[in-house]
Amino acid sequence: MKKFKDLGPEDFPGVNPQKFSEWKTAVLKTRGHVYILLVIYLILNIKSYGVTGNIIYDTPIVLFIGALFVSQHGRFASERHTTYIIASLCLLIMFDIVVVRMTEAFVGESLLVIVAFFWLYSQNRKNKELETAAGIKVEAIKRSMSE
C-alpha cells in the first residue's frame, strides 16, 4: 500500500507530469497547513487549560475536521468528502454558538480555527480544480494507493 507522498505521474497513465507535480505539491502544502493549524490549536488549548483549568470545549470536533482534511486523498476518502468537511464546519459553528450562549464565555481560539479551516477549504477547492485540470480521477488515486 502506497502513501500519498509516494505517488508519481507513472501511477496515472496519460497525465501530464508537470501538472501532476503541481497538483501533488499543492495537496502536500495544504496538508502541511492543516498540521500547523492543529499544532497551534493544541498549543492554544494547553494555554487555555493553564489559565482556566479547562480544555477548549470544541477540541474533538476540531480534531475530527483536521483528520478529514488530512485524509482527503486517503484510501478511505469518498466522493462526499467535501460535503463531510462542510457539514462538520457547520456543526462546529453551531456548537460554538450554543456553548457561547449557554456559558456567555467567548473563546477566540475557536473563531480563529473556524476562519483557518474555511481558508483551508478554499485551498482544498483549488487543489480539486488542479486535480481535474491534470485529468486525475479519485478512483485512480484510490487504486494507486491500494497497490
pLDDT value of residue 74: 67
Query: Which positions of the chain have pLDDT values less than 50?
Result: none
Closest CA to 108 of 52, 67, 32: 52
Can you tell me the distance from the alpha carbon of 86 to that of 84, in angstroms, rounded to the nearest whole number?
A: 6
Model pLDDT for residues 32-70, shown as the tens digit of each residue: 999 999 998 888 878 776 666 666 777 888 888 888 888
pLDDT value of residue 35: 92
Can you tell me the distance from the alpha carbon of 120 to that of 26, in angstroms, rounded to the nearest whole number?
A: 12
Return the C-alpha torsion angle 99, 105, 111, 113, nearest 10: -80
Closest CA to 39 of 123, 113, 124: 113
pLDDT value of residue 118: 92
8: exposed, middle or buried (Cβ count in 10 Å: 0-12, 13-18, 19+): middle
